[in-house]
Structure 1
Amino acid sequence: MSTFERYLTIWVALCIVVGIALGHLMPGVFQAVGSAEIAKVNLPVAVLIWLMIIPMLIKIDFAALGKVREHWRGIGVTLFINWAVKPFSMAALGWFFVGWLFKPYLPADQIGSYIAGLIILAAAPCTAMVFVWSNLTKGEPHFTLSQVAVNDVIMVFAFAPIVGLLLGLSAITVPWDTLVLSVVLYIVVPVIIAQILRRRVMGNGGEAALGRLLHTIQPIALIALLATLVLLFGFQGEQILAQPTIIALLAVPILIQVYFNSGLAYLLNRFAGEQHCVAGPSALIGASNFFELAVAAAISLFGFQSGAALATVVGVLIEVPVMLSVVWIVNCSKDWYERGAGTAMADASSRPAANPPA
């Protein structure tokens, strides 16, 4: 790990402060950058996400994707967390914290809207940023890509019914343009770019050339991550300074939800005997959110100035620093994870049997 990566937490904190300060001092600049969007998808942020995830996608050999069947336990755990636990646990946390515990400190006319925003946020599993978190935990790239693809397919069919069930709405307006464009921009396009680069490099210099390329572009991915933080906090700098108490209160159930779901996924993978390189991205996929879709859905259902929209924006603001803390926990607990009985049994069962004595 380089010196830059070792102090990543410090750079993240500085970028948050810088983003809020710049958003307050130069709101017009950030409004202009924020308005560069199509179907609620911000194009400058999309470019930065490309720079973050393409280094990991270059590592993927599509010929080896078939091996992902070996990690069926991890896929099962992630799907269970994303679709059977996460939306419902967030609904319970929202009703408890926002609807009861924090109710006296929040605007009475926005309570229901805040809860709705939290539910919408939890019902949209993350796509692009998962590649970043997986890379930081040395996650299995083929598993990560396959899991993201499966989640995207399920989201097309499950997002509206789950949100409708939990909000008690008969019809949910799904922002299909945002959903489709996000998948194309964050998955399809960078995968194509990465595979073109991979084939050219492998054709010219083989594995050694690929290793040199990855070593060169890896710092670019981290710089793009920090630049994304500056933009996200710059976009909401005025709002953070205007109503910090509301934002802090809404962050509580989101924080608990992230740590609960990531921890549960991590433990279930350990009990199931999955490898750590699968358990890490599985835990991170189970905890992070597809905030572009969530924000767009909240705005389309409740309006730009609604409590629901604000709740999804709070999810955006805390996503990166909180997920980095989960990455740190996953990395620091690797030795403990690999001492698990389930993992040991899985490793033993995967070894070929010894030849019987003659």
Structure 2
Amino acid sequence: MTPPVVAPAARTPSADHHPVLKEMSFLDRWLPLWILLAMGLGLLLGNLIPGLDHALESVTIANVSVPIAVGLLVMMYPVLAKVRYDETRRITADRRLMATSLLLNWIVGPALMFGLAWLFLADLPEYRTGLIIVGLARCIAMVLIWNDLACGDREAAAVLVAINSVFQVLAFGVLGWFYLQVLPAWLGLPTTSAEFSVGAIVLSVLVFLGIPLLAGFLTRTVGERAKGRDWYENRFLPKLGPWALYGLLFTIVLLFALQGQAIVESPLDVARIALPLLAYFVIMFLGSLLLARAVGLDYARATTVAFTASGNNFELAIAVAIGTFGVTSGQALAGVVGPLIEVPVLVALVYVSMWLGRRLFPNDPTVPGPVVSGSASEPTERDAAARP
């Protein structure tokens, strides 16, 4: 899942032929197990402790609980502290990368979720509307950790997430109007009236991306100026890195605790919502990876495109659904089921991306682990720099 942590001065291209899994840290190697345990713990807490969900929701930012916000910030800060911000200009100059990402995120993704919502939930308008809202909220948070675990291009991920944030503020309301009212009317389908709060969208972007992005940028800038890049990437980042996964597990426990009772009480509804979400994540990821390869991107950038196109901003989707339709609405439940399906599916796709990478991108030096031809691919300098 994550690439090996190596000492840059002591590694040669032929020095290691071990599979990636054998070279992972203990935490990384068993991450799917930790996530399953975190899910189980959250469900247990949500059903055994009366009023826990209300307590967690009692203090909110943009209708998202402060504990969840803290977990997300802890998760994102180490990843953004690893970004080499002085190298981001080369990302914006890659027109293939930018065009492919914008196409997938703002045209293909919302349209695919709209189609799947109507295909699977035509008889459940509240869940259908909630699912469409999830499709409009493009990922600006958790996608960073999936991309990092799969050895995607860290700088590209930071740039694409920032661009998604800008588009989110500008386009979310317009796309909501189009997919809930205009397009259904054109197709002769029932429409849904909804007014989205621009303030909630802006606040979500500022809190869940702005704070950790600023903290990561300042940490790298101050750290490199004070101690140099070698110390920062080989001494400081290895100590900071594991906190991203601690934050992820903490967030998962809270998410499942918040909706533990709803999941237990409405398993069939959750299953109905889960089916189109599962189809969405798999179709978007595999389709995005293949499209990125077709336009000539290497493994690292193709993986980044695939994860940024597949993930969704569930914080914003939940906030919009609660603020527009109410905390007990079907739309809010659909928004909450989003991350409950996204987390395990995208963790599995981390493994899939590296397995496919060695087959779709033979001899590509950005692919983690041994390539198809049998010769070990040398981790890039970026990959060697302090993975958790």
Alpha-carbon distance in 1 for matches of 2:54, 2:328: 16
Q: Does 1:152 align with 2:165?
A: yes
Tell me by how many angstroms 1:18 deviates.
Answer: 0.8
Q: Deviations over 1:71-111 (max 9, x none)?
A: 32122222111111111111211111111xxx5xxxxxxx1
Residue 187 of structure 1 corresponds to 209
Choose which of 340, 343, 346 in structure 2 pairs with 1:320: 343
Q: Does 1:247 align with 2:260?
A: no
Letter aligned with residue 294 of structure 2: F
Choose which of 47, 72, 75 in structure 2 pairs with 1:52: 75
Choose which of 263, 268, 272 in structure 1 pairs with 2:295: 272
Q: Is the 2:168–2:201 Cα contact (8 Å) retained in structure 1? A: no
Tell me by how many angstroms 1:165 deviates.
Answer: 1.8
Choose which of 141, 159, 162 in structure 2 pairs with 1:128: 141
Choose which of 219, 229, 232 in structure 2 pairs with 1:207: 229
Residue 162 of structure 1 corresponds to 175
Q: Between the two proteins, what is the percent identity of the paired residues? A: 34
Tell me by how many angstroms 1:171 deviates.
Answer: 6.2
Residue 121 of structure 2 corresponds to 98
Residue 221 of structure 1 corresponds to 244
Letter aligned with residue 305 of structure 1: T
Q: Deviations over 1:239-295 (max 9, x none)?
A: 111111110111000110111111111000111110111111211111111112212
Alpha-carbon distance in 2 for matches of 1:213, 1:332: 30
Residue 199 of structure 2 corresponds to 177
Q: Does 1:143 align with 2:143?
A: no
Alpha-carbon distance in 2 for matches of 1:203, 1:259: 42
Q: Is the 2:52–2:258 Cα contact (8 Å) retained in structure 1? A: no
- Match of 2:54, SS state, is helix
Letter aligned with residue 48 of structure 1: G
Query: How high is the TM-score relative to the length of structure 1?
Result: 0.87
Gap regions ≥5 residues in structure 2:
1-23, 182-190, 367-388
Q: Does 1:197 align with 2:219?
A: yes
Residue 84 of structure 1 corresponds to 107
- Match of 1:78, SS state, is helix
After superposition, the Cα gap between the structure-2 partners of 1:11 and 1:173, relative to the gap in structure 1 and judged at 3 Å, is same
Q: Which moved more, 1:45-54 or 1:111-120?
A: 45-54
Choose which of 269, 280, 304 in structure 1 pairs with 2:327: 304
Gap regions ≥5 residues in structure 1:
104-110, 344-358
Tell me by how many angstroms 1:32 deviates.
Answer: 1.3
Letter aligned with residue 263 of structure 2: I
Q: Does 1:290 align with 2:313?
A: yes
- Match of 1:128, SS state, is coil
- How many correspondences in the alignment? 332
- Match of 1:96, SS state, is helix
Q: Deviations over 1:162-196 (max 9, x none)?
A: 22222116864222232112211122211221222
Alpha-carbon distance in 1 for matches of 2:318, 2:159: 25
Q: Is the 1:71–1:274 Cα contact (8 Å) retained in structure 2? A: no
Q: Is the 1:164–1:172 Cα contact (8 Å) retained in structure 2? A: yes
